[in-house]
Structures are given as structure tokens and as C-alpha cells.
Amino acid sequence: AKMAAGSGPGARELFAEGLLQFLRPAVRQLDRHVHSVRESQVELREHIDSLATELCRINEDQKVALDLDPYVKKLLNARRRVVLVNNILQNAQERLRRLNHSVAKETVRRRAMLEGGGGY
């Protein structure tokens, strides 16, 4: 009677399998987006470094006293924030990879149970 009502072990297994199939593409897409953002963060950090170096060079070459130090400090502060965001993204991406691995592992386990009769 429980199986007919859709609440037996088989129904739960099918629901879990469907949920895993639903989550896998979302996790993979999120992982790709995080990877893309991390690449952008690296490029931004490189541009900030280049600009800070160029400002320091300009400041040294100036015959007129032009204080660019506050701008260099702002750039270095921005770079520090970019590095912090990149570290956060890296941690999030690692968690996504572990989640994706767990989903794949659980899918294989459930598929094997369904194909093997599940022992019920």
C-alpha cells in the first residue's frame, strides 16, 4: 500500500535520484562561474600591480614634486581586497568541487542500488 501511495523506499530512491540529477548541472555551472570570476580577479590583480608600479615610476621621474603615494596606497588596498575576494572564491570553488564529487558518488551508489534491486 505504501508503494502505491508513492511513499515507499522505491519512491524515495527515485526522488533522491531525481534531486541529484537536478543538482548536478547547477553545481557544475556554479563551479564554472566561480572559476571564471577567479580568472578575472587574477587579471585585475595583475593590472593593479602594473598600475601601481607605473605610478611609482612616474612619481620617481617627475621633476615637479607630485605626491602619488596616496594613489599607490589606494591601489595596493584595492589589490589586497581583490586577493581576499579571490581567496574566498577559491574556498567556495573547493567546496563546490567536493559537493559535486559527493553528488556524483551518491548518484553512482543509488544507481547501483536501483539496478541491483536495492536489497528490499
| Mean pLDDT within 64-91 | 86
Contact at 8 Å (CB) between 114 and 16?
Answer: no
Q: 17 vs 42, which has greater pLDDT?
A: 42
Is residue 48 pLDDT above 80, yes or no? yes
- Taking Cα atoms as reference points, which of 84, 107, 93 lies closest to residue 36? 93
pLDDT at 111: 80
- Number of CB atoms found within 10 A of residue 81's CB: 12
pLDDT at 4: 43
Q: How confident is the model at residue 8 (pLDDT cuts 50, 70, 90)?
A: low
Q: How confident is the model at residue 62 (pLDDT cuts 50, 70, 90)?
A: confident
Predicted model pTM:
0.55
